[in-house]
Structure 1
């Protein structure tokens, strides 16, 4: 009996220390989770602000008035409501839920290579744009107390995103909701995991130059001669042509309305700048390169 008692007494410190180690591990896990959630909070605010701003641009409630690109290929968009929207050149590595808009105009998320529609608790899809007179809905991305990705549709019930890899990772949170962005002419195309959406800059404000051969960015005119092409305006309320040695005349005709004369101008390279304004007062500068040949 004494031997058994001695053995139990000897084991008691081990049991106590093991229990303490378990509690310490649990406490550390909780602290790590709380620290991770705190660190993610600011990123989630930026992410959800980006979702709302992009949806407003799709619906035409705000316009993309300007943009700039840094050395890493990331874009910063200026919106007509004064907000800035940062679009990163690509998503970080790892399995994270990436939002998108499918061909039906509904919000989707892609996780672990599988794309699903965001739905409310009744299974109804979440439209990104107005459909049948009903306004689009804005999803909000969040992380629950257990560290899982979740979403809410305009104040509705919080729903956990499905999937085996739905635990949020602070190193893998997306910088934005886009996988890519490209600018071509007066349009910006936003790429998602399952498609893309194109939004015209300044609500489509544009001035395009063309002739029978197609769209032009430059023309050639012989010295002491002139050339006539077509300038097509979209959502343009007023046009100002910057001073130039060339003689430039633009009329309201539907075609063959832009004449450029090189009379009295030396041979060389010139650029004519057209300042176009929308009725809201937004300005876009459209250049046309002109080569004056001998």
Structure 2
């Protein structure tokens, strides 16, 4: 390593002055190699310190493995610590030497080896209260962030590849041969060991929040075991008879990597440790395959609103908003909407200790970005919302529809909107469609008035955007009907009679219909689910959930179909009062000849206000 980083950068700069087309790939490859060499040498400093520390502390070696490429060894000690020892050819100028039973740092220049001294002319020990020996960004040796100088007062370059020549192993010991041919000998554990099957040197075992997993370990001649360390908020219990540790992750997802450490004693009282890396799985909350269920909570049970997220691989995060933010999104939460990377959650009641009537979170992380309470205190039991942008947040309450500008905190009532239904709003063609008895109000951005009113023949029980950007509308006249309305000119494209089942929403806060493409499902608040194929007009009973779901006495809010998977979700309760905690979320698959429940999640809901799919907002 004859050229320094500084030399290379100057050399490269001079070439660029003369030729804009010069290919600098080889130069930058050399720079990367230098950086890699220095990083490796820094790591070998740590390995050498660990070996000396192990010698002084009486540690033993439990495992020796060859590294990939067989250029060295991975050494595991009884305390669970591991190091990589590389076979070297070129010794660094910095080394170690034993004096009166203690190893000290040395420096060799001009074929002369001397002890490194501190400011008080004391030798610097390798183990114990050690100095911080490192290499700076320019490739010079440093002690405690000060460059080492030789007898001539010049800084000492960090050259060489390893402090070790080789590692020798026999049945009872491991010998570390140093660059000067001296050796450090450490004993093996003599058949005593403790290690995780996935150890510190492996990739971390990842968990969803509150997920439980069993980590298996191997042990021999260990007299007792205990959990010695865990990340904050995690729990673990040891089952010695099964050689495993049941680990429960913290409810709060974090990107940090932590360690689960178990500790045991052998018959001589020597401590053995096993270490496993653990971490949280990265959760993509806007994954189009994900499922949200918003809970109202129970006023009688003292529960605030909460948010459930079912991951694409069907893991349930039961109270994810609270776990991330430390507060409930609101009290009696009713509706949510996702727009421009933000999730908006509307709550019916004001309550201290929650994130207010309107909570706004980052849609990718669910971390709260804003909350509004006093600014919209005029609202009387708000229940639903639709968002065009930050200046046009439409909110329905008992009086009608308001538009809220979150940038100015201005709340404006839209005249003539009395009678807006307590049901979901739809957004299509950058307009908001709101059911209101036999009408549908249409709102546009920047307008604090009704832009258009669509008159229907019967009461509207649901509006939602169709895949082609138009509007599905269900009405409860005689007969019940499902229609598709053009979102631009408001004309009825087609209307089908529903001859069996119901499209009524009843007292539900969700639409009486739900759609995936041309296929719609309905059934009101009953346990029977019907499928309607709009292009053919065919309606068919698919299942009576009572026949498949235990304690399906109450259907709480209407069914919802995933717009990508086609799976249909139904929330059921055993009953009210204390029975509401006995509940289930059921995922039905109607793609085959007979209905199937492909997922069932017990006792997660708390009066579910609705099922939401992020893909419906995209």
Question: TM-score band (shorter)?
Answer: 0.3 to 0.5
Determine which structure has the larger helix proportion and give its number.
1
TM-score norm. by structure 1 comes to: 0.46
TM-score norm. by structure 2 comes to: 0.24
Larger radius of gyration: 2
Higher relative contact order (CA 8 A, sep 6+): 1
Determine which structure has the larger strand proportion and give its number.
2
